[in-house]
Amino acid sequence: MTLRAEYEADGLVRQCGELSDSSANGELVEEARKFEAAARSYAQRGVSRVPYFFTPAIERVVRDTNLIAAVAEILGEDEPWVAWGPNIRESTPNEAHRWHVDLESWIWPGSITAVIGLAGCEPHNATRCIPGSQRLNKAPHCAGDDTDSNAVVRKAQSLDKRCGAVESFAGFRDGRFYLFDARCWHQGDPRTGAGVTRLFIHYQRACEPRVPHMADYQRRAWLPEPSPFIESRAGAASQRLSSIPWRERLAGFTR
């Protein structure tokens, strides 16, 4: 099965890839402090927001030969792309041990989420997913208890029999990456502790409208500008924001 066929069928690529050059890992681990400080600053101001910004080291990883080759197999070999919303975090961010979907991917589908291991990464602290659940029009809290994996799997399978059992990603380590659709019902391992550092990046086709920059997750508020992004080549993308009627798309997500 090709990467594209696996991704489209199940919402994930099970086998991790290896960066062609992981020499920036140490620098990226240091940069995690900036992201953690930004997240604390948002929290102190009562804002529920994920810090997104680029650095030269992040841009090098975004354009890593092996990572881009895997992304291109899914998006299309000759398709210009945009990478947006980079975020480096330690441990499991935003209580992600609960089964959930990512709000931006829920409202504006079409992005591939790439997770790159930077420090302390082991196979057991990779994201856990329910294959096939990216097709569902409801989020995991519809199961009643979004911390109960058995209940969540049963609910997903009751909604679409193509949903499988919980799976993770094979061979996750520092310097390796995995790809999934964050509409897929997923969770972080609740045992993941401090010192496990990962870079999160999102890729989408450059021809698609840009995903807006989040202002406040809890308030479902968005800024009148795109999330920070870089292009595969100059002029490949525009600043045009998505015109998807996102309020209508929140029906299955909102608690």
Please say if the pLDDT value at position 248 is more than 60. no
DSSP codes, 80-139 = -EEEEEEEEEESSGGGTTS-B--HHHHHS--PEEEEEEEES--GGGS-EE-TTGGG-SS-
User: What pLDDT score does 189 carry?
Assistant: 74
Label residue 133 by pLDDT band (50, 70, 90).
very high
User: What pLDDT score does 43 carry?
Assistant: 92
- Mean model confidence pLDDT for the chain: 91
8 Å CB contact between 64 and 145: no
Q: Among 28, 153, 7, which Cα is nearest to 73's?
A: 7
User: What pLDDT score does 183 carry?
Assistant: 97
Please say if the pLDDT value at position 244 is more than 90. no
- The predicted model gives 247-254 an average pLDDT of 64
Please say if the pLDDT value at position 252 is more than 80. no
The reported pTM is 0.94
Please say if the pLDDT value at position 126 is more than 70. yes
User: In this predicted model, what pLDDT tens digit does every residue of 25-40 receive, in sequence order?
Assistant: 999 999 999 999 999 9
Please say if the pLDDT value at position 224 is more than 70. yes
User: In this predicted model, what pLDDT tens digit does every residue of 156-167 receive, in sequence order?
Assistant: 999 999 999 999
Q: Domains of the chain, with CATH numbers?
A: 3-249 (2.60.120.620)
Label residue 79 by pLDDT band (50, 70, 90).
very high
User: What pLDDT score does 251 carry?
Assistant: 65
User: What pLDDT score does 193 carry?
Assistant: 61
CA 214 – CA 25 distance, rounded (Å): 27
Label residue 246 by pLDDT band (50, 70, 90).
low
Label residue 190 by pLDDT band (50, 70, 90).
low
Label residue 195 by pLDDT band (50, 70, 90).
confident
Range with the poorest average pLDDT among 14-18, 121-125, 188-192, 223-227: 188-192
User: What pLDDT score does 96 carry?
Assistant: 67
- The predicted model gives 138-152 an average pLDDT of 93
User: In this predicted model, what pLDDT tens digit does every residue of 80-113 receive, in sequence order?
Assistant: 999 999 999 986 554 567 999 999 999 999 999 9
